[in-house]
Structure 1
Amino acid sequence: MINFDNFPTFSEEHFQSWTNELTPIEEHSGFLVKRDDYFNLGGVSGGKVRQCSKLVYDNIDHIREQCNGGILTAAGIPSPQSCITSAVAKYFGLKCLVTIPHYPDHIKDSYRVNASLAQKFGAKVYGVGNPNISGPELDAKKLVGETGYFQIKFGMNGRQVMETIAKQVENVPDSVETVVGIAGSGLSMLGVAMGCKLYNKKIKTIYPVALSGYVYKNKKMWYDRLSKRDQFDGDFKVVQSEYPYQHKLKLDESLPLDQTYEAKAWDWMVKNLEPSEKVLFWDVGIKEYDLDYIEPIKWHKSEYEKTLDREVRRKTKVTEHDFF
């Protein structure tokens, strides 16, 4: 349960103890599981909360002095990044805006929880007409120009994200030879690879279960630029999930798994690997599914989106569609 009225606020002491604590290793269905989903900020959970918090912390003076005291992010509707970024903004006392594909208020499903939570945390929610992630990403660039805010990019900003994940590899048992995890941006699994080298782990293979091509882009942009002495010695074998990104996969497991992300990696693992203490599943987190958090969005539009709207009105008649 998220406590909006008594939400944690930043202090140096709290931040250091909170972000440096190692999340535990558990056993589920014969596999070891790294429970990074236990990492928590006032009810918003998962390793990506740590990633975003560390990114903001490392740039906090710049954000306050050069970015009008604000952060912004682009996200898809199913992604928890809008909720996470706004929660971190509240923690640090920063202004926040998120840009996502616009949707009508009558739709109430688990995908719509994220934007409502972002709004509850005080973020302004900007809507775009393009439902693909490229729409919000372009809008975010335009909004940086309009507002001067610091952008939390899709999948977070590479090197810092990988370093926060790498530190969590410290308590991975020496028995582990294989790691499996979901790859949206891929940065979490790339961070695991970095951590294997940092702590001299005996892991032979990492399987990122990909939902898109971002893992290849981020590997080339961030990981491949590391010096060879910082790179994983084993095999980094990207496998493609058989499920599309938008598909909700509900599994009957004792472990709570995010239906958009972790469930698809777990499904691949149980179909392809035998249960063993040599196999570890990296659980990044699970987003909020409580529909009671949903509220009408007070939509905003960037000047860029307003320009697109004017062009559409000039060229064609507005037509109704039922895309969502």
Structure 2
Amino acid sequence: MSFVTIPGLVTAENTDITAETAEVQIPSTEVPEGATVHDVVIVGSGPAGYTAAVYTARAGLAPIVLAGQLTPGGALMTTTEVENFPGFPEGIQGPELMDNMREQAEKFGADIRYEDVVAVNLEGDVKAVATEDEVFYARAVILATGSEYRHMNVPGEEEFSGRGVSYCATCDGFFFKDRRLAVIGGGDSAMEEATFLTNFASEVVVVHRRDALRASRVMAERALNNPKITFEWNATVSEVLGDEAVTGLRLASTVDGSERNIAVDGVFVAIGHLPRTGFLRDQVALDEAGYITVDEPSTRTSVAGVFACGDAVDHTYRQAITAAGSGCRAALDAERWLASLGDQA
């Protein structure tokens, strides 16, 4: 593979958008003899990436989808029942919904690769997208990189990650049967985690920094009416306590700053997400929070031929259906972009 060295943060492993500069390898956009220049490469999966794949594949663009190795299908792969996606009156499991989308994309000709993107070079008429083993060249790129779990960044969190600290109830809840657990957060995700964990835990303590939940009414009432769920209001976590594993939390009052300890055997953090865009710094324009900026209402980024969709763009709605809709828009924008190139496309 042909690479060039430039300053800037571009590797996918480092998503710290506050970093200044680093010497990194990015792929050259000079296409080697015999290499294929694809119409479109989609970086990411989930409802945005897979919907973009369905639309570009149906348009005959034969998209390459770099879905990732660990969680192809995005955040919904760790979600239990999705009750608000149209067309499923009885609800559908998140992984099943993503599998259906993937199968639909493949049916129309999408080539889905379970590889992680490590670097990109989006300048020029031909874009280069590199995994560990291969560089893909395309005239258009759709970025559907999604988001990752936001951490509390308190003492003990990293130390006890995997030893009582988790970010996924559906992944790890089973291991905490008959234990007292804590869920950190007050939104829909936190209420979903707390409710799910009552299938295993003896008690679930929700720690929220305010005196009222910010979750939707349905999700809030479900948690508030569950006898296994209790609440620590107006509190934040100042430290995760433990020895070999988690044994408790130190809570700080948001009212008077006083601190006290509570005993728990596990901590599930559900305080939001951060966009997976660190590897795009100096490649496309990002806002102060790291989200990709687009020319609304289109999905065009600051770079011609590069489009963005899903949670890497969306500050506000963060729903599977809105992500899917933006994936559709990105596909249509890419299709029109390629058509505008005429004979070059």
- Provide TM-score, normalisation by structure 1: 0.31
Greater Rg over alpha carbons, structure: 2
- Higher percent of residues as strand: 2
- Higher percent of residues as helix: 1
